[in-house]
Structure 1
Amino acid sequence: MQHVFIIGSRGLPAKYGGFETFVEELVSHQQSDQIKYHVAQLSENETGKHLTYQTADVFEIKKRNFGAANVIFYDRDAIVYAIKYIKSNHITNPIFYVLGNTLGAFIGHYMKLVHKIGGELYVNPDGLEWKRSKWIKPIQMYLKYSEKKMAKHADLIISDNQGIEDYLKTEYGSITSKVIAYGTNTAPAVPAMNQSWLDKYGIRSDAYYLVVGRFVPENNYEAIIRNFMVSSTKHDLVIITNHLGNPYFEKLRQLTNFDQDKRIKFVGTVYDKEQLTAIRKYAFAYIHGHAVGGTNPGLLEAMSVTNLNLVFDVSFNRNVALDSALFWQLDTLTDLIHQAENLESNVVAMLAQKARKIIAEKYTWDKIVGQYEEIFLNEG
């Protein structure tokens, strides 16, 4: 039996996104009975309580109160507890899979502890985390240093996008690495559109551009809004994001005066997956502005159901969408919007077909989980 200890997600079931969703899908789509997953879970309880979620052993790690440093201590505490658990249960050759590189500055020390019990330590670097604007400069510097140490010490780096692996190899030279993408559900069933939701915001089905994502500058909200405002489109720009109470909302309003354009509609968040799928399906086009990261779940979800995708032109996004989307740069989105509205229907249908084919061939959870299991069973 290969025991795999997953460190760095908040636990199961998934309540947030990103890593939590990945871990839930990894467990839910488990194919081999030769793997036992142990998943750290951030908790208000005392460290050491064990729960069962499907076939996974979920072990709770008590939350610390150190502000921004909480994530570092959470990963550290989870590894220390897992090592004690491994020793007391006589587990041999464990794999530690650390999600994110927040512990990277100390990885050398914990690598020695893991190796001492016959284990290996794998790391998923989670895109270029140090570039995210939410971090103040000292934390960005720490995360960049962590990335460097992680690249040097990890037994294996698993990147979710070829662009991430290319960057790490260019930045740090020879590393032991593999690329396994993030997954999504292929051709999900699309429920009927919620007409009352459309009416609430004055939106017409098939006549809106859609943006979905975290409300942070690196997702290019300013560029999207500026380009949209000077376009002549009669469609709306519907933005689904966590903008309420976020100071960036007021800053963005001052920078762009978007409140003077009735086509631009911030509608808050939508957590109902079926409703969000319908909103994606009945959009005229999806605009993806993410500039930092790897294989973004939102882009995969759009490619699964939205017929036309306008995607910010960086290597991470191109590696995913390939020739199934139209690509834009900071000063070209206005022209692309005009181009999109003059496309023949057969061209849009061809792009949609290409997108569905890419998802079916490369990004289903069954395929992604199979790739992980092969690594865990053959590398470990």
Structure 2
Amino acid sequence: MATEGRAKTAEQQERSQKQVFIVGSKGIPANYGGFETFVEKLTQHQKSSQIRYHVVRMSDQKGRFEYNGVNCINIKVPPMGPAKAVYYDLAGLEYCIQYCKNRPWIQNPIFYVLACRIGPFIAPYKRRIQQLGGTLYVNPDGHEWKREKWSVPVRRYWKFSERFMVKYADLLICDSKNIEQYILEEYKQYHPKTTYIAYGADTHPSRLRDDDPKYLDWMSKRGLRPNEYYLVVGRFVPENNYLTMLQEFMRSNTKKDFALITNVSRHFLQQLQEKTNFQKDSRIHFVGTVYDYELLKKIRENAYGYFHGHEVGGTNPSLLEALATTDLNLLLDVGFNREVAEDGAVYWTKQQGSLSHLIDQVDHFTPEQIHQLGKKAKQRIHQGYTWDFIVDQYENLFLR
């Protein structure tokens, strides 16, 4: 009887709440990745009790558990190389559809797929979602098909897949206005329905003090001094323009250091060494990765300036974090970056001499000039990129 009572309570709850199934992140708890952080923050900052989230997660075992008040669903994925992500998304979506099918009392569920990996297979899933009375939302992410890390056939697949995800989505949620405009123009034959909801940023200062032993020890071991280094944090891939940043930094006359926090790939590192000989410049420090969030935030806060060379994708999480913490930000001049920072940063191009000249220029900025840029950058984050604001927008959308 007690079991029957609990089942009825669960059914009553699922009848009264909007059921939202999120597929495409590696899952939560998260300690990496943009989509993973998004799902973590979306559920962590949840305000409405009318929404019940179900989050698919990649795992080496099956099962379900509760985290952040979320139904977390483990999907066991065999090692399959590049096809692993496609298999994972399809298996996750299949599970979520079956979950609703086995609970006919669930009304109008939302299936929110992050990224466009499963386009060639999406049509039959869309039909089944419609049969359930559900809707398919898609986050198109950035220009995955432009990333140099992929071979030409894989890039063609991403582009092909994107087209079908746009065609079959009931709604595309774009985290960049530039991406939204691209979707509307590139796929106008499908009359895509889009909305813009940005990515969020944490606006709280680091819990570590400037004299915290953890921070001082990290700095000392890497030969860095507060406010005497330029910084970059990001994936170690060609489209983030490490080559340009290294070449231009070496051309500059700055006496400051350049700290690169990244997960180094030996092959790409070797290519950069051959093209730049950066290892002969004592100012350049590859310092590995930093997974301690408060430490990383303190490293950002005490950088003299931050370089951002991303040119593929939508609203980039590392850019938002930089604008929220570092006062002086030097950004590659592309639409994605200008859209976010506006006049709260200074800009460079890939043309030879552009960044090196800018470095020499900002090296002589007054503290007041830097403070004013930092103030504008933080205003941009507070205006439209706080997690509270982003979560409000998502909850309003899901409940509408």
Name the TM-score, length of structure 1 as normaliser.
Answer: 0.96
- Per the alignment, residue 23 of structure 2 pairs with 7
| 1:352 is the counterpart of 2:374 | yes
Mapped pair 1:377 → 2:395: no
Alignment counterpart, residue 126 of structure 2, candidates 111, 123, 140: 111
Which of 288, 297, 306 pairs up with 1:277? 297
Amino acid at match of 2:142: G
Deviation of 1:65 after TM superposition, in Å, equals 2.9
CA distance in 2, matches of 1:162, 1:200: 41
1: distance between equivalents of 2:367 and 2:74? Answer: 52
Q: Is 1:334 matched up with 2:356? A: yes
What residue in structure 1 maps to residue 38 of structure 2?
A: 22
Which of 70, 73, 79 pairs up with 1:65? 79
Structural mapping, 1:130-279, within 5 Å: 130-173=145-188, 174-193=191-210, 194-243=215-264, 245-279=265-299
Match of residue 56 from structure 1: 70
Q: Is the 8 A contact 1:64 1:74 kept in 2?
A: no
Q: Secondary structure at the match of 1:133?
A: coil
Q: Which amino acid aligns with 1:83?
A: I
Look up the match of 2:337. 317
- Quote the residue 1:128 is aligned against: 143
User: What is the aligned partner in structure 2 of residue 301 from structure 1?
Assistant: 321
1:145 to partner: Cα distance:
0.6
**In 2, Cα distance between equivalents of 1:298 and 1:10:** 18
Which secondary structure state, in structure 2, belongs to the residue aligned with residue 338 of structure 1? helix
2:206 and 2:298 in contact (8 A); partners too: no
Distance in 1, Cα, partners of 2:58 & 2:222:
37
* Structure 1 segments unaligned to the other structure (5+ residues): none
Does the 8 Å CA contact 1:282/1:306 hold for their aligned counterparts?
A: yes
Which residue type is aligned with residue 153 of structure 1? Y
Whether the 8 Å CA contact 1:95–1:119 is kept in 2: the answer is yes
The answer as to whether partners of 2:31 and 2:291 remain within 8 angstroms in 1 is no
Deviation of 1:190 after TM superposition, in Å, equals 4.9
Match of 2:13? none
Give the match's secondary structure for 2:343.
coil
- TM superposition shift of 1:82: 1.1
Matched AA of 1:316: F
Change (3 A) 1:356 1:187: farther
Secondary structure of 1:158's counterpart equals strand
Aligned counterparts of 2:318 and 2:327: Cα–Cα separation in 1: 14
Cα RMSD after superposing both structures: 1.1
What is the Cα deviation at residue 84 of structure 1? Answer: 1.2
Q: Quick one: distance in 2 between partners of 1:375 and 1:156?
A: 11
CA contact (8 A) 1:228 1:334 kept: yes
**1:73-108 CA distances to partner (integer Å, 9 max, x unpaired)?**
111111111111111122121000000100122222
Q: Which runs of 5+ in 2 are unaligned?
A: 1-16
Question: What is the aligned residue count?
Answer: 375
Alignment partner for residue 81 of structure 1, among 95, 103, 115? Answer: 95
CA distance in 2, matches of 1:190, 1:354: 23
* Superposition deviation, residue 317 in structure 1: 0.6
2: CA distance between counterparts of 1:136 and 1:107? 23
Which one has a bigger Cα radius of gyration?
Answer: 2
* Distance in 2 separating the partners of 1:166 and 1:126: 13
TM-aligned CA deviation for residue 342 of structure 1: 2.1
Q: Does the CA contact (< 8 Å) of 1:105 and 1:142 recur in 2?
A: no
- Which letter maps to 2:153? P
- Find out whether 1:33 has 2:49 as its counterpart: yes
Map Cα deviations across residues 332-376 of structure 1 (whole Å, 9 max, x no partner).
101111111122222211111111111111111010000001110
Residue 189 (structure 1) shift: 3.4
Give the 3-state SS of the residue equivalent to 1:121 in structure 2. Answer: strand
Separation of aligned partners in 2, 1:336 and 1:149: 42
Q: Bigger CA drift: 190-199 or 146-155?
A: 190-199
Matches of 1:346 and 1:15, distance apart in 2: 36
